[in-house]
Structure 1
Amino acid sequence: HKWLNDLIGHLSHTPILVPYHGWRISHRTHHKNTANIDNDESWYPVTESQYKEMPLAQKIVRYYVFLLAYPLYLFKRSPNKEGSHFLPSSSLFKPSEKWDIITSTILLIGMVGLLGFLTYQWGWMWLLKYYAAPYIVFVIWLDLVTFLHHTEPELPWYRGEDWTFLKGAISSIDRNYGLINHIHHDIGTHVAHHIFLNIPHYNLLKATQAIKPVMGEYFHKSEEPIWKSLWNSSISCHFVADTGSKVYYTSQNKLAKG
């Protein structure tokens, strides 16, 4: 039932200042174009030339404080892509989606107004302790998992006709988040999550076990501690080559040594 999905979507997204329809549509774009350098929407790589021309402030956000980048992405999207999750005029959306976007934006403005009223009633310390601090934890967690599932030196990215949906879907990696795995609907089983777009979260573990023997070497999984994977990917994955239909991340350090 679309109306029920939308209702639950608004109830769960608006309190954390995420426009439900805007995020729903951009995340759908990500799933339909995973690992496509030109059309992916989530943590896609910049090219070497783009990296060299990137302003310092943008580099700092993307490569050093990227675990806090999500709110900025909602307002401005990612490098070299214009648009906002809050405006129906954004290139993210079709004209037919105009009122969905307006609805989500109005609800989010209402949430900001509610937070303002509660802050007026109970003070800034209330806002910091009971909303801002948990919100920052949420942002860091979301950026962490989305970054790690698509940022790994061994994962290929594609251009042009060399990209297909299946190639892109399997160009993600499973991670082990320990005790948090089950709390967050087994999000670490990310390969199956991308191959089967409509799979319920409670079937992800079974689906993962079923596809592993079929995929063989094409199934990517890391058993590294999360902190180590985060460090390795952040220092190893800066950009991809300007040319080539199948490319991999490299870093400024490797380029200098080469």
Structure 2
Amino acid sequence: MGLSQWPQGSRLRSFQRLWPWVILLAVLGLVRLSKGAGFADAFALLSRPFWPGSAQREWVQSAVRQNDVSRLELLEQDNARLRGLLELDQLSAGDRVQAAVISRTPSGWWQQLELGKGSFAGIAKDDAVIGPGGLIGRVQSVTPSTSRVRLLTAPGSRIGVWLPRTRQHGLLAGLGTARPQLQFLDKDVQVQPGDLVSTSPASTLLPPNLPVAVVQTVNLRGVPAPTALVQLIAPPDAIDWVQVQVR
């Protein structure tokens, strides 16, 4: 009797050894058929306590709002730049030549820029260069197809200017920074921040009554006369197109 049951017991033990592999193969088959959906559900269930809460959701919403604000600011900047180009295009007539800024050098960012037009377009040395809003410099050198502009912010740049409110003359000198220095000829000045600086009404070297800058700070203790720092109305670092006043 015991001998007759031995083969059955052997088969039972063999099945017991094989059934984990059978179950594993069945599970793998189900995973393949379901494309891992079961594991994804299980992972989601186990990780639910660690899901972002309200604070993280607010952070995400804040980031989305900041992104929208940044995109709006960029669109407004592009819109302003395009409006400036449109104004330049409308003003380009007669003795003004419109030209693109084609090159800048990092070491001379506030000193010079290159234009994509030259003597073939009628541009000559010392011609005034005008950006959207006002004067930015003068032509320093010319080739047949390009021009190099010396900016008003460049060290050594000096032009005579006029303050319409106080009816005083001054000298605008570049310092190699974003803000040139306004040097007064008289010790008694009534200038104040916000005053407009323009070219002289009687200027023959530059277009008369052309806006140039706005006074930012005033140093009444300057020697031999008071000085002021000004901000150019047409910032040279943000200009893509200019006009050249040809003579």
Please confirm whether the aligned pair reaches a TM-score higher than 0.5, indicating the same fold: no
Which has the larger share of strand? 2
- When Rg is computed on C-alpha atoms for both structures, the one with the higher figure is 2
Q: TM-score range by the shorter chain?
A: under 0.3
In the superposition, the TM-score normalised over structure 2's length comes to 0.20
Which has the larger share of helix? 1
In the superposition, the TM-score normalised over structure 1's length comes to 0.19
